[in-house]
Amino acid sequence: MKNILLGVTGGIAAYKAAEIARLFVKRGVSVRVIMTRNAQRFITPLTFQTLTKQKVYTDMFEDVFYEDVRHISLAKEADLAVIAPATANMIGKLAGGIADDMLSTVIMAMAGKPVIVCPAMNTAMWENPAVRDNVATLKRRGFAFAGPAEGVLACGDSGCGALAGVDEIVAIALSLLEKSAPGQ
């Protein structure tokens, strides 16, 4: 069974990540979810736990004993990571090599494995030169991107910045999983 790590960050599109998780499970993929603190303000860990039948990770320093170093074992177990939605903040952290929460730390430990970044933010943020530079940096490092899409955003603006379609995100991830399978 293939293992996908689904990272959920704090944007209004976080609710769409539940459908992404559901579609992966429907296709027989094991899904581990890591949520940032801000993501939990939009959708609860219980939603993902119910959909994936797996523990949801929210804190680097939770009061649970593991026999392993959890952020390293999660990275080793994952065949691929999807960050959906990926906020400008998370994109900046990853481009800058900042690992200060469970999600960014696990992604840093996944060197050499596919990571799909699915940006979702206001058009003005997406077009900000700092964000564009961070995206270019991640692309040079081998990160894949899905979106963003054009559309009406949560704030009412129209433009580029909406989360890519969930079917598109799932298709890209499954395609990368297939390409990275042994013997391919």
| Residue 52 three-state SS | helix
Q: Which of 88, 162, 164 is nearest to 129 (CA)?
A: 88
Domain span at residue 71 reads: 3-179
Q: Is residue 125 part of a domain?
A: yes
Q: Report the distance separating Cα 62 and Cα 45, nearest Å.
A: 14
Q: What per-residue confidence (pLDDT) applies to 52? A: 97
Tens digits of per-residue pLDDT, 28-43? 999 999 999 999 999 9
Tens digits of per-residue pLDDT, 108-161? 999 889 999 999 999 999 999 999 999 999 999 999 999 999 988 888 888 999
Total domains in the fold of the chain: 1
Tell me, yes or no, if the pTM score tops 0.85. Answer: yes
Q: Is residue 55 part of a domain?
A: yes
Q: Is residue 184 part of a domain?
A: no
Tens digits of per-residue pLDDT, 3-61? 999 999 999 999 999 999 999 999 999 999 999 999 999 999 999 999 999 999 998 77
Q: Is residue 88 part of a domain?
A: yes
Q: 36: domain CATH number?
A: 3.40.50.1950
Q: Is residue 159 part of a domain?
A: yes
Q: Which of 38, 146, 127, 13 is nearest to 89 (CA)?
A: 38
Known catalytic residue at 118: no
Tens digits of per-residue pLDDT, 94-108? 999 999 999 999 999
Select which of 155, 157, 175, 180 is catalytic: 155
184 pLDDT more than 50? no
Q: Is residue 154 part of a domain?
A: yes
Q: Is residue 33 part of a domain?
A: yes
